[in-house]
Structure 1
């Protein structure tokens, strides 16, 4: 139980870091005129071709649904992006976890949803990144070793996705859904346990510990042991903190793990990179942040383009809708945290993650039935899918309406602060 708890804390620390990265990218783009112009220049050609009815040129095969541009599809993708942005900005964790499940629930094939999500992350990274090299927060050695591993991992993950899809598209849907159900279920139920524990403690007047949502990060014994292993070449880092060194092998292995997860799930690798760097490799937080910002462009770009885009598994108009929606949603969500109690925000986070779990778990029986692995009636599967969709869209939609309502209700106060 303690080991599971530790895994949960590591995943939450990573999810929180990923949310901070998303917020930083949004700030860098929306608060800089040059970057806004780059965004417009990046999006306009894609949307222009789509409006002209040639979206198939930009990705998506005729067997996919949707595989062509419609105004409804674009608006829906913006809504999904905004909902994810609201969760990221307001809750500070977990918004990116719902994008691929939401696209799949809307009828997009799993492999296309993953590729599109991955591409939108790459677009956000390349337009919003401000390299910290001049501040000394980027360790080139760590970044290079990590990127080597992440490229190998992304290649492996992309191959796995395409192999399963080419073998059987239904198996691909089942695989992606199971991966998301396991991760979201683990995070959701542990989060629910924490929420109940914290609520009871507050009723008794006891201040509960911060747990995964706060607290200092210290070098673990695992990291100390790893740094003692001398397999050349050695990478030197954290000179400002006394200087440390580590074998390239461990950094590359961590990059490989991140690359596989990013390629398989489509989410940003930051939610895994942060705990691996800090807790496993023993890298300081400033160096971790700077180095991850440096490497994510290469990892996300390589994965989205070479493993999905060139095979037609990226729907670019959806990606642009996700990008626009998430940029705005993050800003609104972040402002809303100023007027909403923390316990309410925490409760909504648990609700949205469990809703994502319910949605993906609900389709698994039907996929297993189609693969003739589980003898269950189609009627029962249809009922489960219907329930999963209702729970998901009501939870996500309800959360979005609540956040937007809170935002507009306090809009005057926000303007006065500015």
Structure 2
């Protein structure tokens, strides 16, 4: 069953797009990420223009985050104070990121930049998460009664001023850390069309030292509002938000997110991190192959864009 996407200017199978949305929603519920790190590359793989995939996928990130956040909020797994501090940096970063996206689109480099950034970020983060999870699993298997070490180390950045207490996370750290982290995630959200959870979640665990159970709900809180800001700015500035595509992805995400949240509640944190690492590496590998594969034709025909 085909449906026409007006902004992407092509027809796509409805069930394929619905399945992509459901997969992204499942990841949102399981790992506290928007799911865009998987859905956006897959949309590109099936032929959606990267600029449209990025902007439209942000809508689905919003819907996934709402659905997953409701579950996490009822369970008390949201550090509201930390979420608001992260959100401050995220709103500034997402606004700057849309401006950068517009400039890259104008000079014709946005598709290349999206692919390269995905390969670099996903391969790095996936490798680190998988390595840490496997190492932790072997340590616990050799000595199950050994006390667990700290999830983070006190670097020099932890000595920064303007310290705040985050009671839910049991932390006393400088607010500059979460603000800077939120700013970087905001830029990624705007350029890559993702919630940024695949960067935010490990950073909150290993850099800020937050408990894994609180991280998932708090990341969903920040991702929700940052992604909503990206959607508004992309639609108003670049006109690349395909509403039909976004609605199909959202419908799939609404189905997948509650299922993912229930699965996450039954799995230990080390297993969740390992699964996420494997998924991130798989997507990065496929993107790298696409980037290095010789195109069918060295030339493409299209309208010439005259820069002002």
TM exceeding 0.5:
yes
Residue 294 (structure 1) shift: 3.2
Segments of 5+ residues of structure 1 without an aligned counterpart are 1-50, 199-206, 367-379, 385-418
Structure 2 distance, partners of 1:347, 1:284, is 18
Q: Counterpart in 1 of 2:45?
A: 105
Residue 188 (structure 1) shift: 6.1
Task: Give the 3-state SS of the residue equivalent to 1:282 in structure 2.
Answer: coil
TM-score (norm 1): 0.54
Query: 1:262 aligned to 179, 189, 201, which one?
Result: 189
Q: Counterpart in 1 of 2:111?
A: 173
Normalized per residue, which structure has more helix?
1
CA RMSD of aligned residues (A): 4.4
Q: Does the 8 Å CA contact 1:84/1:326 hold for their aligned counterparts?
A: yes
Q: Is 1:278 the equivalent of 2:218?
A: no
Task: Give the 3-state SS of the residue equivalent to 2:172 in structure 1.
Answer: strand
Q: Counterpart in 2 of 1:117?
A: 57
Residue 100 (structure 1) shift: 0.9
User: Relative contact order, CA 8 A, sep 6+: which one is greater?
Assistant: 2
Structure 1 distance, partners of 2:204, 2:24, is 25
- The higher radius of gyration belongs to 1
Q: Counterpart in 1 of 2:160?
A: 229
Query: 1:183 aligned to 118, 121, 124, which one?
Result: 121
Task: Give the 3-state SS of the residue equivalent to 1:267 in structure 2.
Answer: coil
Residue 287 (structure 1) shift: 5.0
Structure 1 distance, partners of 2:187, 2:31, is 26
Per-residue CA shift, 1:337-379, capped at 9, x if unaligned? 99xxxx9xx79984x655533442244357xxxxxxxxxxxxx
Structure 1 distance, partners of 2:124, 2:84, is 32
Segments of 5+ residues of structure 2 without an aligned counterpart are 142-146, 299-308
Task: Point out the more displaced range, 323-332 or 104-113.
Answer: 323-332
Query: 1:82 aligned to 4, 7, 22, which one?
Result: 22
Residue 192 (structure 1) shift: 8.6
Residue 113 (structure 1) shift: 0.6
Structure-to-structure mapping, 1:19-418, within 5 angstroms: 56=6, 60=7, 64-66=8-10, 72-85=12-25, 96-130=36-70, 132=73, 137-140=78-81, 142-168=82-108, 171-186=109-124, 208-209=138-139, 218=150, 220-222=152-154, 225-230=156-161, 232=162, 234-238=163-167, 241=170, 244-285=171-212, 287-308=214-235, 310-329=237-256, 350=278, 353=280, 356-365=283-292, 380-382=294-296
Q: Counterpart in 1 of 2:302?
A: none
TM-score (norm 2): 0.70
Structure 2 distance, partners of 1:359, 1:115, is 21
Structure 1 distance, partners of 2:88, 2:263, is 40
Structure 1 distance, partners of 2:217, 2:285, is 36
